[in-house]
Copies of this chain bind each other. A is one copy, B any other.
Amino acid sequence: TTFDIAVVPGDGIGPEVIAEARRVLQSVLDAASVAVTWTEYSLGAAHWVETGETLSEATLERLRGHDAILFGAVGADPQDTRIPSGLIERELLLKLRFSLDHSINLRPARTYPGTATPLAGDPEIDFVVVREGTEGPYVGNGGTIRRGTAHEIATEVSLNTAHGVRRVVADAFSRAAQRRGRLTLVHKHNVLTHAGDLWRRTVEEAAAEHPEVSWDYMHVDAATIHMVQDPARFDVIVTDNLFGDILTDLAAAVTGGIGLAASGSINVEGSAPSMFEPVHGSAPDIAGRQIADPTAAVLSGVLMLQHLGLAEPAARLEQAVHAQLAEWARDPEAARGLSTAQRGEALLARLG
């Protein structure tokens, strides 16, 4: 079989980091005699300015045909007033997640050699956030009446279904069982009683089927405290779309690794391709200068290989990244001033 990958380099530093991710992915796949084809799609803020397309139904249909999507970063320079605020996020990024039923937004949070955390004591951190991806307050179900008057009312509705919550909770328990066997449900059930009750019952039911996993519950506000005071306590966090959005940025901050964080938007049923994407944005301020670090894009590629069942090349690539970062941590001079491409080449050399 040939793996058929869609590539969306996107805006800003997206194309630079994705070029390196592709090269190293190609290398480990070649070494494993796995055939792969890459099909590039032009999408993002620049593409919208040129063509008026955010994400057409035709493009979406073509994307559906691939085995996975490797995604760079999209988003305009905030100074660029031609692009309406939020347009690309909603009409491209969120539209992909919703249309392709990306029920799980997977975000590992860990420390890497050579990257100090902003926390005193520089703890070692290694957990993963399993964020729901298609429901909650993200469904776009809000409205406004009497806009602009003293009587304006604006609503936002969070929708939560047994279907949506069960599949993300099941996935989180499986991951916990394969890790350190600890799961933390984060919600705010003392205030959001209906949604919180659904989440809690769902976790209780899944827990009964996973005696090998121990679990606890934390309110989202308290979770931020634990994430600052003792992030090493977490193994797998399962949470809703909005709390997951907030906690994964906080997680990236406490690990010191916003530049290194990878993510996967996963369709668990396999009814559409999953998508793998570095968490850093398009960083227009440093774009085109070959100074962006491709590590997060490469690690997103590792998540993609794992998802495609290519465990061996995934492990090889991940180990190469860790070994390379460890070497640069021991000898920071060797890494200083390396271009994006040179960082990719260092990995290629290491992979042999």
Q: Which residues of A contact B (CB under 8 A)?
A: 85-86, 89-90, 94, 116-120, 122, 137-138, 140, 142-144, 146, 148-163, 166, 188-195, 197-198, 201, 220-222, 224-225, 228-229, 242, 245-250, 252-254, 258
CB <8 Å contact, B228 and A195: no
- Measured between beta carbons, the chain B residues less than 8 angstroms from A190 are 85-86, 89-90
| Cβ-defined partner of A153 (8 Å) among B144, B160, B197 | B160
| Min CB gap A282→B, angstroms | 14
| Min CB gap A159→B, angstroms | 6
CB <8 Å contact, B162 and A150: yes
Overall SS of chain A's interface:
mixed
Copies of the chain in the assembly: 2
Residue of B at shortest CB range from A230?
B118
CB <8 Å contact, A151 and B155: no
| Min CB gap A194→B, angstroms | 4
Residue of B at shortest CB range from A190?
B86
CB <8 Å contact, B120 and A195: no
CB <8 Å contact, A158 and B155: yes
| Min CB gap A94→B, angstroms | 7
Residue of B at shortest CB range from A228?
B253
| Cβ-defined partner of A155 (8 Å) among B117, B154, B194, B228 | B194
| Min CB gap A33→B, angstroms | 41
CB <8 Å contact, B158 and A158: yes
**CB-CB under 8 A for A157 and B154, given A197-B144, A224-B224, A254-B228:** no
CB <8 Å contact, A142 and B195: yes
Q: Name 28 interchain pairs, CB-CB below 8 A, sorted by A.
A: A86-B193, A90-B190, A90-B193, A116-B120, A120-B122, A137-B158, A137-B191, A142-B158, A144-B194, A144-B197, A144-B198, A148-B201, A151-B163, A152-B161, A152-B162, A154-B195, A155-B160, A155-B194, A155-B195, A156-B157, A156-B160, A156-B192, A157-B157, A191-B242, A221-B246, A224-B247, A228-B253, A250-B250
CB <8 Å contact, A246 and B246: yes
| Min CB gap A263→B, angstroms | 13
